[in-house]
Structure 1
Amino acid sequence: MRKPVAGEPGWRRPDLGPPATDLLEIEHLRKCYGEQVILSDLSLTVPQHRCVVLIGASGSGKSTLLRCLNLLETVDDGVIRLDGVDITDPRVRADRIRTQVGIVFQSFNLFPHMNVLDNVTLASRVVHQIPRPQAEASAMEMLERVGLADKARARPDNLSGGQQQRAAIARALVNRPVLMLFDEVTSALDPELVGEVLGLLTELKAEGMTMLVATHEMGFARQVADQVVFLADGGVAEAGPPEQVLADPVDPRTQRFLRRIIDAGRL
């Protein structure tokens, strides 16, 4: 019997392994700021141990979606389920969810008056009441993981942009979340520092971390993503394997967006 080829029913990328359970389920999500609708009837699933990359023009809702998933924003309608649990239920404790859903922003958001170790342990010590020795042991393990153990006592201002971003990633990872959200984490970096941060994300993906990544780095999306999702007009305009969405998009909005990316020399 002939095997299906890319794009046909039944085709799967050969490197994905067995089908994964959906860790994150988003159904009919809606978010508005006053009269401005940012997300409108957005539905998306993220399988466990997969990397889903969000692309789209500025203002398409990528950052808003990630903030909703981390409960930094209250959704107006729809449901978000994490490992089967409705985290949009108003009875859910947001601080507990944030230990399971880490988020890293484009700005590093490190406290300049604290050293790196204190920045990484702050939430553990203050919010979760973990004793300092235990919190610092976990933090040092994570700083070692991101290559910053020797910078634990340094202030953020004494680090490069790439090192500051890796410290922010260590801070998000220290609670050992099941899902990591990355919001344009390279956009504030000098070009020569982008590679070290994207390299760390690539390593996390290889280790099985479930990730949802908003980025303009099309090379990263092409090489690392299991699925690329293009957002437009408040919803998912197109989604699929990177070789399909980036090389042979179907939706005219995706085609126009990628044409602009190509013209700018970024694809």
Structure 2
Amino acid sequence: MSEDVGEGTAVLRVESVRKSFGDSLVLRDVDLDVTSHTVTALIGASGSGKSTLLRCAGLLEEIDDGAVWLDGEEITAPRVDQDAVRRRIGVVFQAYNLFPHMTVLENITLAPRRVHGVRRAEAEERARELLDRLGLGARAGEYPDRLSGGQQQRVAIVRALAVRPRLLLLDEITAALDPELVGEVLAVVRGLKEDGMTMVLATHEMAFAREVADQVCFLDGGVVLERGTPQEVFGDPREERTRRFLRRIVEAGRL
């Protein structure tokens, strides 16, 4: 689904990134490497910096210090065309952010046509292909308010994929869903992993993170306190703070 520049390539590199909002330091010298065709899960309590890290990586927030690289290019450097960079990154949020006055097909084809200059017929062909793959082929002509939350979130994922992103950032995409709808959205992410999509996801779905991620990063107080494979972070965490966090997750029945 995305352009390949080689196995093991560092698609995304975050180096010593700091970000404050007013007097609140939200990210503290964060480092992160995401290699091609892998899934990185960001876990941690609310307010730990997961969403801010995603927004900085996607150039939706301006960093205060450090650097972000995409496929070897420093995308936070002065004079970089950030709009051009954003076209290579797909982002899906908690809120679906679909235009209510547009059909599903119109929502999906808007960016390919207006931003990427794709012809309408080509944009619609790709949109319908993706909708079919995600079980939404019959919904192309519907308006968002006629869809369930899970269906709307799947449309939001299709919209992000329609521009053929190099990197997909997913920010708590199941947080706004009823529990019975979570599974259908997570199934989409599993399919994207099988397709080789490079993804970074912030999630509270610990069992899912353990299943699908290649790398897990535990954030606490704006710091990546611990990182490793799911087996390392969930099975034998080094840091006491990580152990306490996971213990509460287990007690809540979420892992």
The TM-score normalised by the length of structure 1 is 0.90
1:96–1:19 CA distance, 2 compared to 1 (3 A): closer
- 3-state SS of 1:177 partner: coil
Deviation at 1:145, TM superposition (A): 2.3
Matched, 1:237 2:228: no
Contact 2:47 2:221 in 1 (8 A): no
- Conserved? CA contact 2:19–2:28, under 8 Å: yes
**Alpha-carbon deviation of 1:183?**
0.4
The one-letter code sitting in structure 2 at the alignment partner of 1:249 is P
Superposition RMSD in Å: 1.4
Is residue 95 of structure 1 aligned with residue 87 of structure 2? Answer: no
Aligned position for 2:99: 111
1:260 counterpart = 2:248? yes
Q: What's the CA shift for 1:71? A: 0.8
Classify the secondary structure of the residue corresponding to 2:235. coil
* 1:132 shift after superposition: 2.2
1:156-171 equivalences under 5 Å are 156-171=144-159
SS of the aligned residue for 1:168 comes to: helix
State the shift of 1:151 in Å.
0.4
Report deviation, 1:178. 1.1
Equivalent position of 2:213 in the other structure? 225
Tell me, in whole angstroms, the C-alpha distance in 1 between the residues paired with 2:209 and 2:229.
Answer: 10
Letter in 1 for 2:45: A
Equivalent in the alignment of 1:182: 170
| Highest RCO, 1 vs 2 (Cα 8 Å, sep ≥ 6) | 2
Which residue is equivalent to 1:197?
A: 185
Select 2:61's aligned residue among 73, 92, 96: 73
Higher-Rg structure is 1
Quote how far apart the aligned CAs of 1:88 are.
0.5
**How far off its partner does 1:134 sit?**
2.5
Per-residue deviation, 1:131 = 2.9
AA aligned opposite 2:247: R
> Residues 100-139 of structure 1: matches in 2 within 5 Å?
100-139=88-127
Which stretch has the larger CA shift, 193-202 or 140-149?
A: 140-149
**1:245 positional shift:** 0.5
Q: How many residues align?
A: 250
**Structure 2 equivalent of residue 144 of structure 1:** 132
Moved more, 109-118 or 92-101: 92-101
Structure 1 segments, 4+ long, off by >4 Å, are none
The offset of 1:243, in angstroms, is 1.2
Q: Mind listing any 5+ residue stretches in structure 1 that lack a counterpart?
A: 1-17
Asked if structure 1 preserves the Cα contact closer than 8 Å seen for 2:42 and 2:201, the reply is yes
Shift of 1:250: 1.0
Of all paired residues, the percent bearing the same amino acid is 58
